[in-house]
Amino acid sequence: MLNIAIIGAGPGGLALALRLHQKGFRPTIYEAAPELKPLGVGVDIKVYGTKEITEMGLLEEFRAISVEAIDSLFFTRYGQMIYGEKCGKHMGYPHEQRFVHRGTLQMMLYDAVLKRLGPDSVKLGARCAGFEQDENGVTVHFEAAQSVRHDVLVGADGIKSAVRDQLIPGSRGSHYSGIAMWRGVTVMKPYRNGGTILHLGDPIAQGSMIVYPIANNVDGEGSQLINWVVEQNGQPKSLEDWNQRVSPDEIAHNFDECKLDFVNPGEIIRNAREVYLYPLIDRDPLDQWSFGRVTLTGDAAHAMYPRGGNGLCQALVDARVLAEKLAEMQDPVAALAAYEGARREFANRLVIANRGEGPEVVRRIVEERSGGKPFDDIETIFPIAECEKIFLEYHRMAGMQRPDDAGPLGFRESFFDEGRAQKANVGTDIAGARGAARTAG
């Protein structure tokens, strides 16, 4: 049985340990942090991510810490509705789309690793400083611990991966989008149906904002933890530190004009429990991931803009495929090459696609066509059929082809026809939805 070392106990490294364990391996994880803490803010786990978590035997645990996504709505900076569509099972997919705190999800995976693989399987305070490999194995060096010998080494050590830096010197530099991201969490009562992701504002003048709930009943009185992200163009690059805290006043005033009946975005920002600033960065796609007995997964292999949860979900897919190849093939070198063959091209395409606007482009289209002014009738400036086409293409590209029999894709006011809503089996608050329709008027 191969003796496998994983560098990094982020969601990617932990998921890989669980997948390898399902295949009969007993890997060891080496993590630089002396203690694992639930850091970060929200991530959007797409249907294919929930599928991976389900196969790992963790769906019930995951449901307990996350919020089901019901629908996804797009509004202009004046709070006028552009487009809406349902999510996950409500859209006809076989799996749920769910929102979760990145740190809580990491802790859920960590607990599962400790339970299934034993407390010795994760070595904390072990920062990998380099490695050497030969025909028979890999010797891994640490900053403040003895070197260890393994058959295979996997770098799951995130966007600043030391393993990647050694394999591919020169890959350290980040690609900066010119966009800064303010990320925060706010405790508040649920809005609409308690499972809506909102896309607000415009990407040109005001900045764009995404809002979604990531935990239920956080105060014992029914409040949710609401995650929000504001992106604004033309900002100087800030620190590449996920934990750089700033004041909500930097950005809240941008959303004072954008009021919906059911939510006040400026207020969400002002009431934030914590706000972080992070540059929208990624790494250029790599030409190679696997080098003999050493390979890369997760952000170490394909750091992408943290939009739409694809970074984390792709790390979950890496974990499954790598474990499958190592279990199927006798020769670990061939297995790592086969893993790269199955994954690299797709992940690289997603890195590049994420640099584009994705479906968020609909807000820019409306901003341009309306001259940045409120409109009378959205249908005359942006027909829903044109809008749906953009979304269909995005879902296909991200590997989430819609089921053929899923029913209508997008909605505007027509969604708020009760008959249609019931037919689509959306367990939504129709009254709240009618409120949204009025703002669309």
Say which DSSP state 291 is in. Answer: B
What is the CB neighbour count within 10 angstroms for residue 380?
Answer: 9
**Interface segment toward ligand FAD; rule CB under 6 A; list 155-163, 166-174, 199-207, 208-216:** 155-163
Residue 32 engages ligand FAD in binding (rule: CB under 6 A)? yes
Residues 216-245 as x/- pattern, contact with ligand FAD by CB under 6 A: --------------------------x---
Residue 279 engages ligand FAD in binding (rule: CB under 6 A)? no
Shortest distance (Å) from residue 398 CB to ligand FAD: 15
Kindly tell me which residue out of 3, 22, 26, 33 binds ligand FAD, with binding defined by CB under 6 A. 33
Strand 128-133 with 274-282, pairing: unpaired
**3 state SS for 133-172:** ECCCCEEEEECCCCCEEECEEEECCCCCCHHHHHHCCCCC
Residue 432 engages ligand FAD in binding (rule: CB under 6 A)? no
Distance between CA atoms of residues 307 and 355, nearest Å: 9
Distance between CA atoms of residues 197 and 389, nearest Å: 20
Residue 16 engages ligand FAD in binding (rule: CB under 6 A)? no
Evaluate the CA torsion angle 266, 181, 40, 190 in order and state its sign.
positive
Q: Max CA-CA distance within the chain?
A: 70
Residue 296 engages ligand FAD in binding (rule: CB under 6 A)? no
What is the CB neighbour count within 10 angstroms for residue 243?
Answer: 11
**Interface segment toward ligand FAD; rule CB under 6 A; list 30-38, 337-345, 371-379, 424-432:** 30-38
Residue 320 engages ligand FAD in binding (rule: CB under 6 A)? no
Shortest distance (Å) from residue 51 CB to ligand FAD: 17
Near ligand FAD in 105-134, by CB under 6 A: 127-128
Shortest distance (Å) from residue 35 CB to ligand FAD: 11
Distance between CA atoms of residues 142 and 131, nearest Å: 9
Sheet (strand 67-68) strand order: 42-45, 98-101, 67-68
Kindly tell me which residue out of 4, 20, 41, 335 binds ligand FAD, with binding defined by CB under 6 A. 41
Specify the residue, 162 or 437, whose C-beta has the smaller distance to ligand FAD: 162
Distance between CA atoms of residues 192 and 235, nearest Å: 33
**Residue 321 CB partners (closer than 8 Å, separation 6+):** 339, 342, 343
- The residue behind tokens 């703002």 is 439
Distance between CA atoms of residues 44 and 114, nearest Å: 25
**Interface segment toward ligand FAD; rule CB under 6 A; list 62-70, 158-166, 283-291, 341-349:** 158-166
Kindly tell me which residue out of 90, 102, 343, 395 binds ligand FAD, with binding defined by CB under 6 A. 102
Q: 28 is written with which tokens?
A: 């060891």
Residues 44-83 as x/- pattern, contact with ligand FAD by CB under 6 A: ----------------------------------------
Per the CB < 8 A criterion, the answer to whether 310 and 397 are in contact is no
Comparing every residue's Cβ against ligand FAD, the nearest one is 10
Residue 175 engages ligand FAD in binding (rule: CB under 6 A)? no
**Interface segment toward ligand FAD; rule CB under 6 A; list 20-28, 74-82, 309-317, 415-423:** 309-317
- Cross-strand bridge partners of residue 232: 180
Shortest distance (Å) from residue 283 CB to ligand FAD: 11
Q: Which residues lie near ligand FAD (CB under 6 A)?
A: 7-13, 30-33, 39-41, 43, 102, 127-128, 156-159, 162, 183, 242, 298-299, 306, 311-312, 315
